[in-house]
A and B are shown apart, each in its own frame.
Chain A
């Protein structure tokens, strides 16, 4: 078996340019790796036929950019034309989209090759990917453990080195938390940085697509091509595209860094705290300052998230009714039966629970009592973060309170999944960019991740610090090699 996919993207690009390898070599290698690691359950759909076809077509094309011909996996809540998109749900398990999401158009325009669609929590609702209709993906570091969620399949397939790139989505930590559990680099960009057109909506005011990759530089390379104003998404920003790698390698001397006290409180496990403290020492030694600060209402973020995300989800998921697409029961008696049986059978337990709670939260006077109030407090959180950024360049902390836990754990506790995301959710509330970069290992050789939070549209500075940490720690993040 060839090992091209263990090379850096730039090395692969060199080989392609020199015509020493062809895109089909990369595709065959990725398909072989996916097949050999089938038990990981990282993919819902592998598009071997489409990927091979595209690779052969690309043989006649000029290698025009660094991402040319590189295989990429796409989270299965991002629609791909003619390629099944399920959202890990029974209700869409036969759904073939008619169009490409904007991000999919963008990666196709750079001649990247979509290898398949990754496993996830059903409609991205969960923190372990265990709510998937197709069963949970496993953590490559310990296959008895969860990969995290909801972008668990995307994180697992990069961690296991099946492909170098994946797209994820993050509504309340769904890129950062699995990246932390699987030891990869994941970025949730500023809300509005990447078009949401074609991302099946969960919490519209929170959802954001982002890149997931093996290292900081490659992650930034992928973000470079995902950004830009999209007239099909009115919430997408008019900010110009930029090169997010431009500050990578710069010194961090004089950088002002803050840590919210909440991020080092007793909700965080000792082994995670001790890794964070090691990084803090490293940063101080390198000439950065690190202060501990308070962010208003940060401890309420999970509650606010539940209200906002579930409220919006109850409305966003109303369209899955068996009338126009997706699963639909046979011979219903009347429209009410079509609705109730299609949705009753089509959605899993967690999704139904969130739709019901969300509907309740928006019902009658509740919309004012809960949803409007939540939007107000969310605004206060955002203001508090922005105020901190008047003084500090970046905010850091852990992404998860613990390392990945065992599959099956916490399934009977609907609240646990939210508490897993207690450190990542505040960032979505504030609409800010947040990322994960590995910062070490805990007991059982399980990855621990550092969260870096940036000011609005300041992803470049985040990459600068992330790459500094990555370089200084020089961890081996390939689970095959570490074991």
Chain B
């Protein structure tokens, strides 16, 4: 079977994060009571006309730029005509002839190898409404009707499920970072259709389309399963039908939805209700400059600063933490320490309180100060834990908080030396253990010193003094 080559192309629909819908002023929101975000335009009422939400153009342009596309500076919309109950006007307003972006690419990395997946085009369109089927009835929720979408169509450039998953993950990361979409596959704000064929030769086989796959890992599973199904057919000397499938997670199978008829006729023509949209260079540059640092660049910078790849990825998954950390990229603090506390105690605090880090009292100055204190050993992690709530909730400075807690940081070697010697003289048996080769005894002695100082001693200094005294 290994001599079959998979060829994969992917179409992704992504809902754009706008306040209102694309062609009406209804609210664009998920999870609201059915048919509450709806007006006569969304319902396709007689006499209604589309307006155009400029925010949609801005976000779609941003997406097209991120995907390295050429921009169609003079573009229009087209009508795609087909009858379906979820399609209120029985035509969908989309872009067939002049997609906002064409000829782009996305770089992915699989097993350490980098590769470009070419983007055929990215175009703007309106979402349909949501149908819910119950027994012999179908219900329609028009809240989704007219939600802005971009559809990103790749060339058939991928040849393994790993590449396909890497592509979807990469696209998700890009759009999430540029604040283009929520990219929640489970809520349907990102939907993935995979086209796959197998062949032993350079000539492509008949492809199957797997619609609306519900998660990135299922993209991989669906491809593997569908490839096996096709190979099995070909090995038996049968033909692969040009058809649409869905992936059923429970049975781990691709299930046929409909056989495609040749020449699906959507009777496209330019939408006469929306004049041509002209995108000038000034607008393009304005949008380009609004693109934040993207995930791949962040990752590089974090790893460069010594943060482990694992931790770098963890931070990148949380855009708000990553944005916070980026404020300190220019130096001045130890980023490893910074990332450790962000992912550790600070994340725990944020999860517990449900707060965003930007909505806490942890100012940039306080963060810089506390990271430096941890780095120099002026405070230890126990002290940090003790003062964390106050750091997040009070306006006071780090020093003020430490003082208010009655915590005194002892960093004076003379003062510490005295405490060390006191502890050593009252724990002679442990000192002897150490001298007889039981090096673990030093941990006990260390604990005693910390107990004596209520944890306020600089641990590195204590360690150094202990070793000096014991080895005398």
Could you tell me which A residues sit within 8 Å of B by CB distance? Answer: 78-79, 85, 87, 92, 95, 97-99, 101, 196-201, 204-205, 231-235, 311-312, 314-315, 318-321, 323-325, 335, 339, 359, 362-364, 367, 371, 375
* 30 A-B contacts (beta carbon < 8 Å): A79-B46, A85-B46, A92-B46, A95-B46, A99-B45, A196-B49, A200-B46, A201-B273, A231-B51, A232-B51, A233-B49, A233-B273, A235-B275, A311-B269, A312-B272, A314-B267, A315-B79, A315-B91, A315-B269, A318-B81, A318-B83, A318-B90, A319-B88, A320-B46, A321-B85, A325-B45, A339-B83, A359-B267, A363-B265, A367-B267
With A234-B273, A312-B272, A335-B85 as contacts: A319 and B44 at CB distance below 8 Å: yes
Nearest CB to that of B86 among chain A residues? A323
Q: Which residues of B contact A312 (CB under 8 A)?
A: 269, 272
CB–CB B46/A235 < 8 A: no
CB–CB B275/A234 < 8 A: yes
Seed contacts A235-B49, A315-B91; 14 additional CB < 8 Å A-B pairs: A95-B46, A98-B40, A234-B49, A235-B272, A314-B81, A314-B267, A320-B46, A321-B90, A324-B88, A335-B85, A363-B265, A363-B267, A364-B265, A367-B269
Q: Which residues of A contact B265 (CB under 8 A)?
A: 363-364
Interface string of B170-192 (1 = CB under 8 A from A): 00000000000000000000000
Interface string of B234-272 (1 = CB under 8 A from A): 000000000000000000000000000001010111101
With A98-B40, A315-B79, A321-B83 as contacts: A362 and B47 at CB distance below 8 Å: no
Q: Give complex CA distance A421, B109 in Å.
A: 64
Q: Which residues of A contact B275 (CB under 8 A)?
A: 234-235
Nearest CB to that of A360 among chain B residues? B267
Expressed in whole angstroms, the minimum distance between the Cβ of A431 and any Cβ of chain B is 12
Q: Which residues of B contact A315 (CB under 8 A)?
A: 79, 81, 91, 267, 269
Expressed in whole angstroms, the minimum distance between the Cβ of A377 and any Cβ of chain B is 15
Interface string of B17-61 (1 = CB under 8 A from A): 000000000000000000000001001111111111000000000
Q: Does B274 contact A (CB under 8 A)?
A: yes
CB–CB B46/A204 < 8 A: no
Q: Does B368 contact A (CB under 8 A)?
A: no
Q: Does B130 contact A (CB under 8 A)?
A: no
Nearest CB to that of A198 among chain B residues? B47
CB–CB B89/A318 < 8 A: yes
CB–CB A79/B47 < 8 A: yes
Nearest CB to that of A318 among chain B residues? B90
**Which 5 pairs across A and B sit closest by C-beta, in order of nearness?**
A318-B90, A362-B267, A205-B272, A204-B272, A198-B47
CB–CB A101/B274 < 8 A: no
Q: Give complex CA distance A315, B88 in Å.
A: 12
Which of A98, A196, A362 has the largest count of B CB atoms less than 10 A from its CB?
Answer: A362
Expressed in whole angstroms, the minimum distance between the Cβ of A304 and any Cβ of chain B is 14
CB–CB A235/B91 < 8 A: no
Nearest CB to that of B89 among chain A residues? A319
Expressed in whole angstroms, the minimum distance between the Cβ of A326 and any Cβ of chain B is 8
Task: Give the contacting residue for B44; candidates A85, A324, A335, A371; CB below 8 A.
Answer: A324
Expressed in whole angstroms, the minimum distance between the Cβ of B129 and any Cβ of chain A is 10
Expressed in whole angstroms, the minimum distance between the Cβ of A315 and any Cβ of chain B is 5
Q: Which residues of B contact A371 (CB under 8 A)?
A: 269
Q: Which residues of B contact A99 (CB under 8 A)?
A: 40, 45
CB–CB A199/B90 < 8 A: no
With A319-B90, A367-B268 as contacts: A234 and B51 at CB distance below 8 Å: yes
With A234-B275, A311-B269 as contacts: A364 and B83 at CB distance below 8 Å: no
Nearest CB to that of A206 among chain B residues? B272
Query: How many residues of chain B get a CB closer than 8 Å to chain A's CBs?
Result: 30
Q: Which residues of B contact A364 (CB under 8 A)?
A: 263, 265
Q: Which residues of B contact A325 (CB under 8 A)?
A: 45-46
Expressed in whole angstroms, the minimum distance between the Cβ of A123 and any Cβ of chain B is 10
Nearest CB to that of B270 among chain A residues? A375
Q: Which residues of A contact B88 (CB under 8 A)?
A: 319, 324
Chain B contact residues, majority secondary structure: loop
Expressed in whole angstroms, the minimum distance between the Cβ of B50 and any Cβ of chain A is 7
Q: Give complex CA distance A364, B264 in Å.
A: 9
Nearest CB to that of B271 among chain A residues? A204
Q: Give complex CA distance A364, B267 in Å.
A: 6
Q: Which residues of B contact A197 (CB under 8 A)?
A: 47-49
Nearest CB to that of A308 among chain B residues? B272
Nearest CB to that of B90 among chain A residues? A318
Expressed in whole angstroms, the minimum distance between the Cβ of A460 and any Cβ of chain B is 25
CB–CB A97/B46 < 8 A: yes
Task: Give the contacting residue for B49; candidates A232, A318, A319; CB below 8 A.
Answer: A232
Q: Give complex CA distance A32, B184 in Å.
A: 64
Nearest CB to that of B41 among chain A residues? A232
Q: Give complex CA distance A99, B85 in Å.
A: 23
CB–CB B47/A101 < 8 A: yes
Which of B43, B273, B274 has the largest count of A CB atoms less than 10 A from its CB?
Answer: B273
Q: Give complex CA distance A362, B269 in Å.
A: 7
Q: Give complex CA distance A339, B52 in Å.
A: 30
Expressed in whole angstroms, the minimum distance between the Cβ of B413 and any Cβ of chain A is 75
Expressed in whole angstroms, the minimum distance between the Cβ of A359 and any Cβ of chain B is 6
Q: Give complex CA distance A236, B274 in Å.
A: 10
Nearest CB to that of A236 among chain B residues? B49
CB–CB B51/A204 < 8 A: no
Interface string of B205-244 (1 = CB under 8 A from A): 0000000000000000000000000000000000000000
Nearest CB to that of A362 among chain B residues? B267
Expressed in whole angstroms, the minimum distance between the Cβ of B93 and any Cβ of chain A is 11
Nearest CB to that of A95 among chain B residues? B46
Expressed in whole angstroms, the minimum distance between the Cβ of B18 and any Cβ of chain A is 17
Expressed in whole angstroms, the minimum distance between the Cβ of B225 and any Cβ of chain A is 30
Q: Give complex CA distance A364, B268 in Å.
A: 8
Q: Which residues of A contact B90 (CB under 8 A)?
A: 318-319, 321
Expressed in whole angstroms, the minimum distance between the Cβ of A77 and any Cβ of chain B is 8
Nearest CB to that of A320 among chain B residues? B46
CB–CB B47/A200 < 8 A: yes
Q: Which residues of B contact A92 (CB under 8 A)?
A: 46
Q: Which residues of B contact A97 (CB under 8 A)?
A: 45-47
Q: Which residues of B contact A101 (CB under 8 A)?
A: 47
Q: Give complex CA distance A362, B82 in Å.
A: 12
Nearest CB to that of A339 among chain B residues? B83
Q: Give complex CA distance A53, B269 in Å.
A: 46
With A234-B274, A315-B267 as contacts: A324 and B43 at CB distance below 8 Å: yes
Q: Give complex CA distance A18, B451 in Å.
A: 101
Q: Give complex CA distance A437, B282 in Å.
A: 49
Expressed in whole angstroms, the minimum distance between the Cβ of B171 and any Cβ of chain A is 31
Q: Give complex CA distance A78, B48 in Å.
A: 11
Nearest CB to that of A366 among chain B residues? B267
Q: Give complex CA distance A362, B83 in Å.
A: 15
With A315-B79, A318-B91, A321-B90 as contacts: A199 and B47 at CB distance below 8 Å: yes
Q: Which residues of B contact A231 (CB under 8 A)?
A: 51
Which of A78, A205, A311, A315 has the largest count of B CB atoms less than 10 A from its CB?
Answer: A315
Expressed in whole angstroms, the minimum distance between the Cβ of A351 and any Cβ of chain B is 14
Q: Give complex CA distance A200, B269 in Å.
A: 19
CB–CB A323/B85 < 8 A: yes
Quick one: which of B57-103 are within 8 Å of A by CB? 79, 81, 83, 85, 88-91
Nearest CB to that of B52 among chain A residues? A234
Expressed in whole angstroms, the minimum distance between the Cβ of B418 and any Cβ of chain A is 80
Q: Give complex CA distance A197, B45 in Å.
A: 11
CB–CB B81/A362 < 8 A: yes
Expressed in whole angstroms, the minimum distance between the Cβ of B46 and any Cβ of chain A is 4
Q: Which residues of A contact B49 (CB under 8 A)?
A: 196-197, 201, 232-235
Q: Which residues of A contact B267 (CB under 8 A)?
A: 314-315, 359, 362-363, 367
Q: Which residues of B contact A95 (CB under 8 A)?
A: 46
Q: Give complex CA distance A335, B269 in Å.
A: 25
Q: Give complex CA distance A26, B275 in Å.
A: 42
Q: Give complex CA distance A315, B44 in Å.
A: 12
Q: Which residues of A contact B91 (CB under 8 A)?
A: 315, 318
Q: Which residues of B contact A363 (CB under 8 A)?
A: 265, 267
Q: Which residues of B contact A314 (CB under 8 A)?
A: 81, 267
Nearest CB to that of B79 among chain A residues? A315
Q: Which residues of A contact B263 (CB under 8 A)?
A: 364
